[in-house]
């Protein structure tokens, strides 16, 4: 079988206006984590209009489409919740207009990560038009709650919906490169306890906030001692937030909490990372606990897990990496950059928890995520749609390399 990248690119160009329109309409619907319902319904309608074999919204709220019914199960995932916009006046363009200007689409979610939803949908349509390989079942997910708790959406899909793919392509921005890993993360809280008193008589109390001062210094120093991995980079630890329990602004706080983000590089475990923090000299009079995520989705389903997100790396010579690289090269004529993300993705579930081979491919520049200047190039949307359309065919031809 000959796989024709030039023909796929030409077919994608014919769908350019539809891809752009769909992306702009998604951007126009505000959809922060746990409030994605309206955007999910819009995506469901688009999926249904494209003639997929099955389209449904699962119990958590993910939109799921199925194309084909072969033994090789491929999942292309894009999360559709976005972070807030902050100060609207800081944006050059309305974050919810989905403005099309100078060959770019602008707005919240234009990079992180609505493009994959639009591009993969039309890539799947193109695949249907050419003929889905008999070996393939292709799943598309427009997943929810990733910004709140990355990975839980796919954890739910696998554990509770019974859909376990053989390989996964994550749609976090890679700027058309192929990414094969990321650092992990554990979120924790340090609690210091004191004794409240009137602020006019601080000597009669014990200030819990003061107990955190040396902890902050020790955490900053610990960051410099953490190990590094040649591919994933350095492990990091940073204090991100402080809050306290106080009767008023004129009272000594009786308790204070320091929140910590600990990024895990290759070979690090959450137990070891927490033990390092607990062993700091300043922690003798403090408590340390891993945080938990416990929220209700837009469909009313409870989402609950520890806030631990495993690091993962797929070897560069794995068949999935080689296959997606081949699909990109067929479309662009150039071998893509192979790298890794600086932030976390839904791959913490598929690769990190379940060991399912996972890579990333998508348009958009990672560093534009969560900024007031998100944009994606229309030309890259078209190329990406062509690549997504080819991935199932390429992987079907390489199926013996994917285990």
Write out the catalytic residue numbers: 81, 146
3-state secondary structure of 100: strand
Q: Which H/E stretch holds residue 60?
A: none
d(Cα 236, Cα 263) in Å, to the nearest integer? 5
121 touches 141 (CB < 8 A): no
Q: Residue 293: beta bridge partners?
A: 305
CB atoms inside a 10 Å sphere around CB 51 = 12
Q: What is the CA radius of gyration of the chain?
A: 23
- Please list, residue by residue across 76-114, b when 16 or more beta carbons sit within 10 angstroms of its beta carbon and e when fewer do: bbbbbbbeebeeeeebebebbbbbeeeebbbbbbbbbbb
- How large is the angle between the packed helices 37-49 and 114-130, nearest 10 degrees? 20
d(Cα 374, Cα 113) in Å, to the nearest integer? 10
Q: Residue 175: beta bridge partners?
A: none
DSSP percent split of the chain into helix, strand, coil, nearest 5: 35, 25, 40
In whole angstroms, what separates CA 259 from the centre of its chain?
Answer: 21
CA distances from 227 to 124, 269, 273, 290, 309 (A): 42, 12, 11, 21, 18
Strands, E, within 255-367: which ranges? 255-264, 286-290, 292-296, 302-306, 308-309, 312-313, 338-339, 358-360
d(Cα 58, Cα 86) in Å, to the nearest integer? 30
Give the up-direction half-sphere exposure of residue 379: CA atoms within 13 A in the CB hemisphere.
4
Among 283, 271, 291, 270, smallest CA distance to 221 is for 283
Long-range contacts of 282-285 (CB under 8 A, 24+ apart): 282/211, 282/214, 282/215, 282/217, 282/218, 283/190, 283/215, 283/218, 285/192, 285/211
């Amino acid at each position: 079988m000959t796989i024709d990248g030039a023909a796929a690119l030409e077919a994608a160009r014919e769908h350019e206006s539809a891809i752009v329109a769909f992306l702009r309409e998604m951007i126009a619907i505000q959809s922060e984590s746990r409030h994605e319902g309206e955007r999910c319904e819009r995506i469901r309608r688009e999926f249904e209009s494209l003639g997929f074999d099955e389209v449904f919204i699962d119990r958590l709220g993910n939109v799921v489409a199925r194309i084909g019914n072969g033994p090789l199960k491929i999942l292309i995932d894009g999360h559709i919740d976005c972070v807030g916009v902050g100060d609207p006046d800081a944006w050059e363009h309305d974050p919810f207009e989905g403005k099309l200007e100078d060959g770019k689409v602008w707005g919240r979610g234009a990079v992180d990560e609505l493009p994959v939803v639009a591009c993969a949908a039309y890539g799947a349509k193109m695949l249907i038009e050419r003929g889905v390989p008999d070996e393939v079942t292709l799943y598309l997910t427009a997943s929810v709650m990733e910004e709140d708790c990355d990975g839980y959406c796919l954890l739910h899909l696998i554990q509770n919906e019974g859909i376990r793919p053989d390989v996964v392509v994550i749609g976090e921005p890679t700027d058309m490169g192929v990414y094969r890993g990321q650092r992990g993360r554990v979120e924790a809280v340090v609690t210091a306890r004191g004794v409240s008193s009137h602020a006019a008589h601080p000597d009669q109390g014990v200030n819990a906030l003061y107990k955190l001062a040396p902890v902050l210094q020790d955490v900053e120093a610990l960051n410099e001692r953490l190990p590094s991995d040649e591919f994933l980079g350095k492990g990091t630890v940073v204090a991100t937030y402080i809050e306290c329990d106080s009767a008023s602004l004129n009272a000594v706080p009786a308790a204070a909490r320091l929140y910590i983000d600990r990024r895990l590089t290759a070979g690090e475990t959450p137990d070891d990372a927490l033990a390092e923090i607990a062993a700091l000299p300043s922690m003798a009079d403090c408590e340390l606990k891993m945080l938990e995520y416990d929220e209700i989705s837009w469909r009313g389903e409870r989402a609950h897990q520890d806030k631990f997100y495993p690091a993962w790396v797929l070897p560069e010579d794995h068949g999935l990496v080689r296959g997606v690289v081949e699909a990109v090269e067929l479309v662009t004529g150039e071998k893509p950059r192979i790298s890794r993300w600086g932030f976390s993705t839904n791959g913490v579930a598929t690769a990190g928890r379940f060991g399912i081979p996972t890579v990333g491919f998508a348009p958009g520049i990672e560093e534009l995520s969560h900024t007031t200047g998100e944009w994606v190039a229309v030309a890259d949307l078209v190329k990406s749609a062509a690549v997504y359309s080819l991935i199932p065919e390429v992987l079907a031809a390489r199926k013996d390399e994917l285990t």
